[in-house]
Amino acid sequence: MGDYEILQDSDPRCAELEAAGYRVVAESWAVRLFDPDRELLESAVRRATAGGLTIRELGPESAELLHNLEKANEPDYPYTPATHRVVGELVDIRALWPAYRVFGAFDSNRLVGATVIRQKDGFGDTFFTSVLATHRRRGVGQAVKAASILAFLDIGITRFSTGGAAANQASLQANQSLGYQLTESWRTYAPGQ
């Protein structure tokens, strides 16, 4: 991490760092969803399927497809000291199962979007959501995330969490469209030059 300081934006130390010449080099966010609206979620999935996509849960036999999707998207992930996604090798993707559940969107036989979620501290906690550049801004991210939430609702999980880099406003907006509420904002500071 070097000389970075990562603080919640409400932390009084933010003012101290700024007075000492530190500058904000990145921002990030956390969102939570409690008692989701099932109809809103089902609607997000229906819109995607009406557009010709297939939304379904993926097993470990789909690890290579997910790895290919992630490798294609890796250059697009915002890199900050607080939020970064390193895809790694195929073996790293295979290791997601069984701790995580994966939900994907297919355009014909091509995986064009996916979300990875697990149960953590009583929450359905999203690890990452990934959509190919050719399919962004078409509700794909919302659909796979909605499918994952619906699956977790079916096993009694009613609280959800995720987060990301402020540079990726599309991700924040996709989450908010499903009912997530912004709960925390973070600032990454670096010493002034």
pLDDT tens-digit map of 50-88: 999 999 999 999 999 999 999 999 999 888 888 878 899
Q: Give me the CATH number covering residue 118.
A: 3.40.630.30
Domain hosting residue 93, numbered range:
5-190
Helix (H, G, I), strand (E, B) or coil at 184: strand
Kindly list the distances between the CA atom of residue 88 and the CA atoms of 40, 74, 93, in Å, as whole numbers in the listed order: 34, 10, 8
Instruction: Give me the helix-helix angle, 140-153 and 169-177, nearest 10°.
Output: 50
Q: Tell me the pLDDT tens digit for each residue of 6-22.
A: 999 999 999 999 999 99
pLDDT computed for residue 2 by the predictor: 59
Residue 168 backbone phi and psi in degrees, to 5: -100, 75
Model confidence at 1: pLDDT above 60? no
CA gap 41, 72 in Å, rounded: 27
pLDDT of residue 192: 84
Under the banding of pLDDT at 50, 70 and 90, the label for residue 28 is: very high
d(CA 164, CA 135): 20
pTM above 0.85, yes or no: yes
Taking CA atoms, 158 is separated from 12, 44, 180, 182, in Å, by 33, 18, 12, 17
When divided into structural domains, the chain yields a total of 1
Distance CA 87, CA 13 (A): 33
For the chain, the average pLDDT equals 94
CA distance 41 to 147: 7
